[in-house]
Structure 1
Amino acid sequence: MPFKKLIPTLKDTIEHKGFHEPLAFQKQILSKIKSGASLFAIAPKNSGKTTSIVISVIQRLKSAFEDAPRVLIFVKDKQAALELEQAFNVFKKGTDLRVYAAYEEHDIDIQREEIYLGTDIVIATPKRLNRIFFLNGINLNKLQMCIVEDAEFLIKGSHFAEVTRTPESIGKCQYLIFSTAFDKRFERWQESFMYNAQIVKAKS
């Protein structure tokens, strides 16, 4: 999907930042994401994975709608959440899309209230998202996309199990897993909620 096919506000922002053509890996995956396919997107760092997330989500949602989030993005920690939130804030200029970052180092009651007031995109650490959901602080019934950024962090600790719980609570959804490598644990997801997902690896 060339950048010229993006919504005008997003296209203008990308061009203003000096990007005129997708990177090689972005050319492989952007059109697939736009088609609604679930993907394991495997590529080394600096391949444009995070920018692909931001572009694809904004292109899909276009504008704010109702109160429940339509996109959920899992990230490693607070720093990753804030960095991704900032990236969205840069690229969503000209739209009214609402982005919210939820992480452990913040009062959970305040987070529940702020999410309840309405957001389109929630960026969250797995542990905090599960706590908020357990407390009935987030409605996942309207999700269209569930994404994991830099999924290699899931292999340590309980993160993998925490993310695996989420599909049990939502209906039909597009799943996008971005990682530098395909881990054997991902095969469990292929056997359940990602059984029809494509594996797209960066061309060497």
Structure 2
Amino acid sequence: MPFKKLIEPLKDTITQKGFDEPLAFQKQVLSKIKGGASLFAIAPKDAGKTTSMVISVVQKLKAAFEDAPRALIFVKDKEAALALELEFNLYKRGTDLRVYCAYEEYDIENQRDEIYVGTDIVIATPKRLNKIFYLNGINLNKLQMCIVEDAEFLFRGSHFAEVTRTPESIGKCQYLVFSTTFDKRFERWQESFMYRAQTIKAKL
């Protein structure tokens, strides 16, 4: 998908950042994400994975809508959540999309209250997201996109199991997993909620 097909605020931001056309990997994944496909997007560092994801979420959601989040993005820790929030704040300029970060180092009651007020995009660590969910602190019924960023972290500790719980609680959704490698443990997801997912690997 060329940048010229994006919504105007995104095109303006991309132009200001000096990007003329998508990187090779972005050309592979942007149109598929726009078309609604679930993907395992496998590419090395600096291939444009994070930018592809941020552009795709902003392009799909376009504007604030009701209170429940429509995109959920799992990240490894607080630092990753805050860094991704900065990226979204850059690319959502000109829209009224709302982004919220949920991580362990913050009072969970405050997080639950702040999410209740309304947000479009939630960036969360798996453990904290599940705690908020089981406290009835987040409505996942409107979710359209469930994403894992830099998915290598899933295989340390209990993260893989924590993320696997989420699809059990939501209906039809687009799943996107961004990683530098395809781990064989992803095959478990291919056998369940990601059974129709495509695997896109960067052409080097």
Bucket of the pairwise TM-score, normalised by the shorter protein: over 0.9
Shift of 1:158: 0.2
- Does structure 1 residue 74 correspond to structure 2 residue 74? yes
1:185 is paired with a residue whose SS is helix
Give ranges in structure 2 of 5+ residues lacking alignment: none
**TM-score, with structure 2 as normaliser:** 0.99
Equivalent residue for 1:22? 22
Question: What percent of counterpart residues are identical?
Answer: 82
* Cα distance in 1, alignment partners of residues 38 and 3 from structure 2: 21
Shift of 1:141: 0.3
Equivalent residue for 1:162? 162
* Cα distance in 2, alignment partners of residues 109 and 131 from structure 1: 11
* Cα distance in 2, alignment partners of residues 100 and 128 from structure 1: 13
Equivalent residue for 1:106? 106
Counterparts of 1:30-179 in structure 2 under 5 Å?
30-179=30-179
1:64-96 deviations in Å (ceiling 9; x for gaps):
000000000000100000000010001100000
* Cα distance in 2, alignment partners of residues 55 and 168 from structure 1: 27
* Cα distance in 1, alignment partners of residues 20 and 173 from structure 2: 30
One-letter code aligned to 2:39: L
* Cα distance in 1, alignment partners of residues 86 and 202 from structure 2: 26
Shift of 1:20: 1.1
1:105-141 deviations in Å (ceiling 9; x for gaps):
0000000000000000000000000000010000000
* Cα distance in 1, alignment partners of residues 37 and 138 from structure 2: 25
One-letter code aligned to 2:7: I
Shift of 1:4: 0.5
Equivalent residue for 1:12? 12
* Cα distance in 2, alignment partners of residues 9 and 40 from structure 1: 27
One-letter code aligned to 2:171: G
**TM-score, with structure 1 as normaliser:** 0.99
One-letter code aligned to 2:175: Y
Shift of 1:42: 0.2
2:115 is paired with a residue whose SS is helix
* Cα distance in 2, alignment partners of residues 171 and 82 from structure 1: 28
One-letter code aligned to 2:142: K
Shift of 1:159: 0.1
* Cα distance in 1, alignment partners of residues 127 and 49 from structure 2: 23
One-letter code aligned to 1:99: V
* Cα distance in 1, alignment partners of residues 13 and 45 from structure 2: 23
Number of positions where the alignment pairs a residue of Structure 1 with one of Structure 2: 204
* Cα distance in 1, alignment partners of residues 155 and 20 from structure 2: 35
* Cα distance in 1, alignment partners of residues 14 and 116 from structure 2: 31
One-letter code aligned to 2:8: P
